[in-house]
Amino acid sequence: MHAEAMTTSPLTGLLSLDRAELLQATGLRWAPTSGDRFAIRQPALAGEVFTISEMTIEAHDYPTGTVLGFNGTTEWALDSVTQDDAVWLPREDQLRELLGGTFRSLARSLDGRYLVVVELPGQPERAFAADQAADAYADAVLALVSAARV
């Protein structure tokens, strides 16, 4: 697998880096696969989003950890980065899968924000609102993780 930079801006529907870092801080594990998006924690690459692809960025598993190799890319002076230096930006479908049976619905509110409704174990339904659906899903996943720790 390979990764390529996304050049479209703004990236509508993309999970915000702040929420992705919060998810990572909760211990959310990432097994890189084709189609996954990520950012790299380097000031020179701030704002760049990469996508794992069979053509340009490949995940290499080693006993010491996963390395994301940049094959055939000349626009960045990168050969590879460790997975620890990358921040996974899960897609909506991946976040919805993490919610599992707690997910109830996704809707658009009258003000244009997205609402994700979940039913966390032992709690009434809760709605999470955000400008991007992926951010609303991420907030619900964060609440699920928090509820599981109690």
Whether 60 shows a pLDDT value over 50: the answer reads: yes
pLDDT, position 128: 97
Q: Are residues 24 and 77 in the same domain?
A: yes
pLDDT digits (tens, 9 = 90+) for 107-120: 999 999 999 999 99
3 state SS of 142: helix
pLDDT of residue 141: 97
User: Are residues 35 and 79 both part of a single domain?
Assistant: yes
Strands 2-6 and 80-82: what pairing?
unpaired
Domain of 101 in residue numbering reads as 92-149
Considering its fold, how many domains does the chain have in total?
A: 2
Q: For residue 66, give every residue at least 6 positions away whose Cβ sits within 8 Å of its Cβ, in sequence order, or none.
A: 32, 59, 60, 82, 83
127 pLDDT more than 60: yes
Confidence check: pLDDT of 75 > 60:
no
Are residue 81 and residue 39 in the same domain, yes or no? yes
Residue whose C-alpha is closest to residue 66's, from 33, 93, 37: 33
pLDDT digits (tens, 9 = 90+) for 3-59: 444 433 344 578 999 999 999 999 999 999 889 999 998 888 888 898 887 666 778
Pair 66, 101 in one domain: no
Domain boundary pick from 47, 71, 88: 88
User: Which residue did the predictor score with more confidence, 137 or 147?
Assistant: 137
**Do 41 and 98 sit in the same domain of this protein?**
no
110 shares a domain with 81: no
What average pLDDT does the chain have? Answer: 84
- 34/94: higher pLDDT: 94
Check residue 24 and give its pLDDT: 95
Quote the pTM value.
0.79
The larger pLDDT score, comparing residue 46 to residue 87, is at: 87
Q: Is the model more confident about 77 or about 84?
A: 84
- Confidence band (pLDDT; 50, 70, 90) for 67? confident
Same domain, 111 and 68: no
Residues 20 and 64 both lie in one domain: yes
Query: What distance in Å separates the CA atoms of residue 99 and residue 38, rounded to the nearest whole number?
Result: 20
Alpha-carbon distance of 3 to 134, in angstroms, equals 21
Of residues 72 and 74, more confidence is placed in 72
